Amino acid sequence: MIRSLTLFPAVAWLLGNNLLLSSRQEVSAFVATPYYGSRTHHRSQPFLLHAVKTDEEILEIVREGIAEADATAAWNECVTLLQDSGVVVIATTQQETEMILATALEWRGWARVSSAMARKFMKPKQPDPVKLQAALQWLKDGPLALSGDALGEAIQQSPAAYLIDPEAAYQEALQTAPAKYKDPDYFKAVLLQDPSVLECSYNCVDEGCGSECGNCWVSYEIKRGSSVPDPF
């Protein structure tokens, strides 16, 4: 009897620890953060949310998701549009073109998630050939006047910024930009050196930190530093 009472706290501790581990694993499935039960597992414990997948595996899952959304025809039309337009000059195969489109529409991130429950909270965009055609036309005929290699490199580097609604991205970038970037000529010159500048849509100097570091002009200028020379 005394021995049982002595063991009981240890058993309770183990049960509680297992419950805590289980709850932490459930939370990690939503935040894409690995849970390491002990230091010995720090280097070997895999991510609970993402599994390593090849591009072929990702694309197969993307196509299945597109089919379930009854959007295969629109998807194929968008792929053909990109290929026939000649703007994606860096993508030499249909698979590469599809991966660029999947990244732009957030299907690539959706496919990388292993948890079916977590996928329910993700809302990748549906392919829309009309909107894609309009985006490509604006990139060619609008103030950026991109074509050839410059357009292909921009799309590959920042697919979402250039293929979803580049006109809106351009206006938002100029509206939130530091003074020197507000000059359209200067902005375009920077963009030709670093296409990711079109992703900038927030400025914490004016708005205060809004946890938008990935799209913030301040973060961009820090990242840019001297790696991209001043175009003028």
In a domain, 151, yes or no: no
Give the predicted TM-score (pTM) of the model. 0.74
pLDDT of 49 > 60? The answer is no
Residue-number span of the structural domain to which 6 is assigned:
2-41
pLDDT grade for 60, boundaries at 50, 70 and 90: very high
How many domains does the structure of the chain reveal?
A: 1
Distance, CA of 132 to CA of 81 (rounded, Å): 8
**pLDDT tens for residues 68-124?**
999 999 999 999 999 887 665 566 688 999 999 999 999 999 999 988 888 889 999
* Portion of the chain with pLDDT greater than 90, in percent: 55
In a domain, 20, yes or no: yes
In a domain, 218, yes or no: no
